[in-house]
Amino acid sequence: MRNTGIFFILAFFSAFCIFIILTTSEFHKTRSAPFYLRLDPASTLIRIYSHSIDDISTLKQAHSFVAVSGLKVLAVCNGGIFDENFQPLGLLVQNGQVCHELNQDIGNGNFFLAPNGVFFIRGKTPEIMPTSKYAKLRISPDWAIQSGPLLVVDAKVNNLLPNNPKSKYTRNGIGVDENNNVILLFAPDPVSLYDFAVYARDTAKARHALYLDGAVSGLLTDYCSININREYATIILFAALQHR
């Protein structure tokens, strides 16, 4: 059954934020972390901004840039992993233009954990797929960002993820469910990469999910402000299509 609206699945944590579950017919509280935000792409504007092209490098800047147009900003988060020069490590597509090429190199760090992948939008349809498949299909999306590793592939946790309970960080990611809703994933308290993937599959019900970043992850919503003035190479923004 397709979700018809914006669904907030959120959690209580620390003194910084208070979260709730909000649907069109239900209102509940939860104390579990991490948390997720589910969005219907049919009623949500999704945009990817970059430090080098748009001169937008903080969540607060991105929020202000869109809010001034009268749109209701639902959430803003950091995009994929970037280098020391504030350049994305992988593919970046903005409004149909390839701003940074697909990265199929082999290297160290989370970005290069196999397989990494691409989150992209064609029309109103969000998709996530492995980088190798994306390259083979020669896809021309409207918006896209590459990161890694993939957390969930075809409703299965990536079995190549390191299961190290001592490697815990704040983390964020993005997913797509079986109804093609977008799922914004966030772990405000330190969690292992493997446990974050299990959460994405089992609790958030992501059919596909992509890791965005860790340790430096940021989020800005009506309910929470984390690292909103920290600089990022790329930023993903979600806004309601109807004006306030």
With respect to residue 225, please indicate whether it lies within any of the assigned structural domains: yes
With respect to residue 141, please indicate whether it lies within any of the assigned structural domains: no
Owner of token pair 């934020």? 17
Range of the domain at 220: 7-83+152-243
Element (H, E) at 54: helix 51-54
pLDDT tens-digit readout, 125-180: 999 999 999 999 999 999 999 999 999 999 999 999 998 988 999 999 999 999 99
Owner of token pair 């988060």? 77
Determine the Cα–Cα distance for residues 102 and 111; give it in Å rounded to an integer.
Answer: 12
With respect to residue 136, please indicate whether it lies within any of the assigned structural domains: no
Cβ-proximal residues to 168 (8 Å cutoff; 6+ apart), any chain: 190, 191, 192
With respect to residue 43, please indicate whether it lies within any of the assigned structural domains: yes
Strand partners, 118: 129, 146
With respect to residue 125, please indicate whether it lies within any of the assigned structural domains: no
pLDDT tens-digit readout, 224-241: 899 999 999 999 999 998
With respect to residue 114, please indicate whether it lies within any of the assigned structural domains: no
With respect to residue 200, please indicate whether it lies within any of the assigned structural domains: yes
* pLDDT tier at 8, thresholds 50, 70, 90: very low
Task: Give how many domains the chain has, as a whole number.
Answer: 1
With respect to residue 122, please indicate whether it lies within any of the assigned structural domains: no
